[in-house]
């Protein structure tokens, strides 16, 4: 690890101001990605700004018909929260499938979404549920937020405050875990947002979370193709030592059928 300064932010405004003072500063949430990256000297920072103590940043609450989940809410909180399950069983199930109990106890929704690992689970739910990402500066629609591998629409000094989510009619998530890490070799989040509108988001299979328009159209047709007959066709299916592209594409089709079968 390189030497750095550490400070605890007491408000989102303070965290954002600290970020804007140096291009080499980072927010620290659960540290599940950041600390190993620092230890392995993959990144170097001048200043770490710890946001875990900001009052209210891990709140989960109803706001009218929508659900608010604070950026510092841990995966465990999301997985176990009754209002999350009432809003979207798919989201609660997804949070419970992340990593292991230690990771779920420390990792946060905001950290996962800001990091945008191509194999992370949350981006699939955020995109599938058409969430709004609320930051220190603005509100960003999920469709405009994810910009490919480890890239997002966030500016250097922008802090995610939380997510606002509308209740879907039904939702589900199916994932094939990487046996070593628990990350998604592939994961498919399915949500019926109106009687005739479906959103299908795929993670793990390409260089960043993406929607699957053919599956969305098929789900919207009462007499459309059976989920098991759909094939995932995409220019950028990942092909690496863990799985060849054809296997991953097949996995996406299988997980889509599985998610459709477990909708609630």
Ligand X SMILES: Cc1cc2nc3c(=O)[nH]c(=O)nc-3n(C[C@H](O)[C@H](O)[C@H](O)COP(=O)(O)OP(=O)(O)OC[C@H]3O[C@@H](n4cnc5c(N)ncnc54)[C@H](O)[C@@H]3O)c2cc1C
Q: What residue ranges bind ligand X (CB under 6 A)?
A: 26-34, 51, 71, 75, 98-99, 103, 106-108, 110-112, 114-115, 120-122, 154, 159-160, 181-183
> Please, what is the minimum distance in Å from the beta carbon of residue 21 to ligand X?
15
Contacts 24+ apart (CB under 8 A), 147-154: 147/116, 147/208, 148/207, 148/208, 149/116, 149/118, 149/207, 149/208, 150/115, 150/116, 150/117, 150/118, 151/116, 151/208, 152/113, 152/114, 152/116, 154/114
Ranked by CB distance to ligand X, the top (closest) residue is 111
Calpha distance 22→27 (Å, rounded): 12
Between 95 and 260, CB nearer to ligand X? 95
**Nearest approach, Cβ of 95 to ligand X (angstroms)?**
9
Q: How far is the CB of 187 from ligand X (least distance, A)?
A: 8
CB nearer to ligand X: give 154 or 172: 154
We find the least distance from the C-beta atom of residue 105 to ligand X, in angstroms, to be 10
| Nearer to ligand X among residue 164 and residue 214 (C-beta) | 164
Cα separation, 34 vs 8, in Å, equals: 16
- Closest approach, Cβ 234 to ligand X, in A, equals 20
Closest to ligand X by CB, 153 or 220: 153
Tell me how far, at minimum, the Cβ of 24 lies from ligand X, in Å. Answer: 12
Q: Quick check: 242 and 178 in contact, CB under 8 A?
A: yes
The order of strands in the sheet holding 25-28 is: 5-8, 47-50, 25-28
How many CA atoms, within 13 angstroms, populate the side-chain half-sphere of residue 207? 8
| Cα–Cα distance, 241 to 92 (Å, whole number) | 31
**Residue with smaller CB distance to ligand X, 96 or 236:** 96
Between 157 and 219, name the residue whose CB sits nearer to ligand X. 157
Planar angle of CA 161, 110, 249, nearest 5 degrees? 140
> Number of C-alpha atoms within 13 angstroms, CB side, residue 225?
13
CB of 169 to ligand X, least distance (A): 25
- Give the nearer residue to ligand X in terms of CB position, either 98 or 218: 98
Q: Within 10 Å of residue 167's Cβ, how many Cβ atoms?
A: 15
Take residue 227 and report the two structure tokens written for it. 């989920």
């Amino acid at each position: 690890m390189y030497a750095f300064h550490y400070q605890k932010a007491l408000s989102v405004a303070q965290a954002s101001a600290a970020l804007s003072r140096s291009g080499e500063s980072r927010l620290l949430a659960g540290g599940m990605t950041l600390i190993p990256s620092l230890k392995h000297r993959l990144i170097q920072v001048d200043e770490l700004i710890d946001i875990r103590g900001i009052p209210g940043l891990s709140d989960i609450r109803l706001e009218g018909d929508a659900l608010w989940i604070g950026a510092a809410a841990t995966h465990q909180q999301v997985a176990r929260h009754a209002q999350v399950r009432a809003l979207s069983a798919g989201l609660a199930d997804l949070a419970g499938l992340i990593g292991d109990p230690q990771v779920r106890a420390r990792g946060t929704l905001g950290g996962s979404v800001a990091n945008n690992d191509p194999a992370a689970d949350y981006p699939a739910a955020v995109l599938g549920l058409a969430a709004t990402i609320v930051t220190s500066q603005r509100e960003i629609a999920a469709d405009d937020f994810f910009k490919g591998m480890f890239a997002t629409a966030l500016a250097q000094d922008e802090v995610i405050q939380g997510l606002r989510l509308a209740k879907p009619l039904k939702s589900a998530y199916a994932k094939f875990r990487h046996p070593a890490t628990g990350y998604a070799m592939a994961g498919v989040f399915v949500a019926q947002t109106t009687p005739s509108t479906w959103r299908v988001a795929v993670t793990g299979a390409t260089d960043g979370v993406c929607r699957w328009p053919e599956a969305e159209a098929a789900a919207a047709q009462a007499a459309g193709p059976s989920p098991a007959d759909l094939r995932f066709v995409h220019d950028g299916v990942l092909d690496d030592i863990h799985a060849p592209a054809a296997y991953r594409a097949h996995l996406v089709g299988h997980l889509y059928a599985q998610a459709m079968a477990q909708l609630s």
